[in-house]
Amino acid sequence: AVCSMGNSTSRLYSVLAKTLSSGAVSQHQDCLEQLDSARLDPLDPKDLLEECQIVLQKRPPRFQRNFVNLKKNTTCNHRPIRVMQWNILAQALGEGKDNFVQCPMEALKWEERKCLILEEILAYKPDILCLQEVDHYFDTFEPLLSRLGYQCTFFPKPWSPCLDVEHNNGPDGCAMFFLKERFELVNSANIRLTAMKLKTNQVAIAQTLKCHETGRLFCIAVTHLKARTGWERFRSAQGCDLLQNLKNITQGAKIPLIVCGDFNAEPTEEVYREFSNSSLNLNSAYKLLSPDGQSEPPYTTWKIRPSGECRHTLDYIWYSQHALNVNSALGLLTEEQIGPNRLPSFNYPSDHLSLVCDFSFNQDPDRLL
């Protein structure tokens, strides 16, 4: 069913309407065929944002979040690269498995929640977008974001838990989007992570891009590690496998690296220490928001399940601190903004907060470790 778009007839009604279907995997091809001709036409992001706001007119306004300037006394001779990391909450899991006991089911309706997600992306205008738990790639994100100028890549989990939910929309997975006007794809790798020499259900995408403005190469990766308490050693093994893959791709850190992901791991876990101490010389960008630059935010996800309240720091943007500078980072939502019923909500579409950073290349490209 297609939701009402309000009283006025919108120029983009057909665009959003065609992406509102929540059918099964078998319908993906039909959807792609339907949108094939439409996708060739560029889409003005202002028009799409306006369309989303019409759909969301009965919902509370978006939360105000401000960027924190982290730039030291360094000059940047190129436009910063904005990277957005976000676990957007798979629709099938939100409705069917995650048991957000304080979140009304009406707040999870895909017709509106989809527009909240798009509104967040359109508000921050990332040059590179890294998403997890994407189960509406083929009928929503790829058709719309490709028309906004993004090159799109999706790698589903081999055995997605979404497939256990009735009326699912196919498997969830990781997705990466980058603006073609800013970058050229040099190399792309879909990585199925291993642990204890066994292939696992978790995946990553790693792409080497060339920045048109500077001619510099860099690698951007997105991943989503195994969830749940008791799987710490498993996550550690997955992290080691990902790091080894990234060492090969970046030629041992010769190519600067940014890694976005829901690691499902607090900073106290071994996998976090592995990334911190890696020979790739990585730092976590959101640590820079703390007074001493050494502490992660108090939370990146906050929800209430039948077992109780879950407030954790699980999401990260890692970067090569020898080759890249963090110019700014988007501040997190306050407890007051999130509210007593926590996330997701009518205001916010996911149980995870989006992370957004502006990066610039170090002006000494030959300086490595």
Query: What is the architecture, at CATH level 2, of domain 83-364?
Result: 4-Layer Sandwich (3.60)
- Assess whether pLDDT exceeds 50 at residue 79: yes
pLDDT in tens, 227-250: 999 999 999 999 999 999 999 999
CA distance 307 to 261: 25
pLDDT over 70 (residue 115): yes
CA 361 to chain centre: 22
Q: Percentage of the chain with pLDDT > 90?
A: 81
Span 106-127, mean pLDDT?
A: 97
Average pLDDT over residues 17-33: 48
Helix axes 45-55, 110-124, angle to 10 degrees: 140
DSSP string, 111-150: HHHHHHHHHHHHHH--SEEEEEEES-IIIIIHHHHHHTTE
Residue 72 has pLDDT above 90, yes or no: no
**In this model, does residue 308 exceed pLDDT 80?**
yes
pLDDT at 98: 79
What does the pLDDT look like over 133-142, one tens digit per residue? 999 999 999 9
pLDDT score of 71: 81
Cα distance between residue 212 and residue 297, in whole Å: 33
What's the one-letter identity of residue 83? V
Q: Which tokens go with 182? A: 């800013």
pLDDT at 15: 62
Cβ pair 301, 96 in contact under 8 A: no
For the chain, domain boundaries: 83-364
Average pLDDT of the chain is: 90
Q: Looking at the predicted structure, is the pLDDT value of residue 25 above 80?
A: no
Across residues 211-237, what is the average pLDDT? Answer: 97
Q: What is the pLDDT of residue 23?
A: 43
- The secondary structure of 90-112, three-state, reads CHHHHHHCCCCCCCCHHHHCHHH
pTM exceeds 0.85: yes
Whether 368 shows a pLDDT value over 90: the answer reads: no
pLDDT higher than 80, residue 201: yes
Q: Which of 354, 338, 353 is nearest to 103 (CA)?
A: 338
Q: Are strands 217-224 and 257-262 parallel, antiparallel or unpaired?
A: parallel
3-class secondary-structure state, position 322: coil
The confidence score (pLDDT) of residue 363 equals 80
For residues 235 and 1, give the distance between their C-alpha atoms in angstroms, rounded to a whole number: 40
**Contact between 75 and 361 (Cβ < 8 Å):** no
- As given in the structure block, the two tokens for residue 313 are 């720091």
Q: Compute the distance between CA of residue 196 and CA of residue 308 in angstroms, rounded to an integer.
A: 32
**Whole-number Å distance between alpha carbons of 88 and 113:** 10
Query: Measured between alpha carbons, how far is 259 from 242 in angstroms, rounded to an integer?
Result: 10
Q: What confidence category does residue 96 fall into, taking pLDDT thresholds of 50, 70 and 90? A: confident
Strands 81-87 and 128-134: parallel
